Amino acid sequence: MANYTAEQIADTLIHLSRERGLDITNLKLQKLLYYAQAWHLAFHEEALFQDAIEAWIHGPVVPSVFRKFKSYRWNTIDCAVYPIDDASVLDLLNSVMDAYGAISAISLEHLTHSESPWKDARAGIPFDEPSHNIIRPEAMQAFYLKLAESNT
């Protein structure tokens, strides 16, 4: 059972980005949230947070987090954040930052567009048409578990 909200994980990812001297926009934050959830599902067989992730035009999005930071548009998020203090979750989020943190938001968007969980959630929807289809946690777990196994 997930113990955190997507907003708490978002705040922590923003904090970790700042610690690394990396700018983070809402677009990039959405992709990092997606990868945090995906890898938590793969490694722990449970969700990191319960908020749904939708397959929007520009990739995976947690709508509540998107709305929270919407006013920043394409700019760096620079508000106060309140990171969690949970060693096991921080280990995972630091691993996500190691793997994806230095990648640009646009490149992360392209990466998510190339992977089956987002593509399957948008099956049959034109690339430029909005969607609120949910990216299924089961699809994320299966895809990233298989990816992890192929890299070992």
For 6-35, the pLDDT digits (tens) are 999 999 999 999 999 999 999 999 999 999
How much is the pLDDT for 2?
A: 64
- Residue 147 CA to residue 55 CA, distance in Å, equals 20
- With bands split at pLDDT 50, 70 and 90, how would you rate the model's confidence at 3? confident
Quick one: CA torsion of 16, 94, 46, 137, rounded to 10 degrees? 70
Provide the 10 A C-beta neighbour count for residue 137. Answer: 18
pTM score = 0.95
- With bands split at pLDDT 50, 70 and 90, how would you rate the model's confidence at 1? low
For 81-99, the pLDDT digits (tens) are 999 999 999 999 999 999 9
- Answer whether 26's CB lies under 8 Å from 73's CB: yes
How much is the pLDDT for 69?
A: 96
For 97-129, the pLDDT digits (tens) are 999 999 999 999 999 999 999 999 999 999 999
- Residue 74 CA to residue 139 CA, distance in Å, equals 29
Q: What is the mean pLDDT of residues 35-55?
A: 97
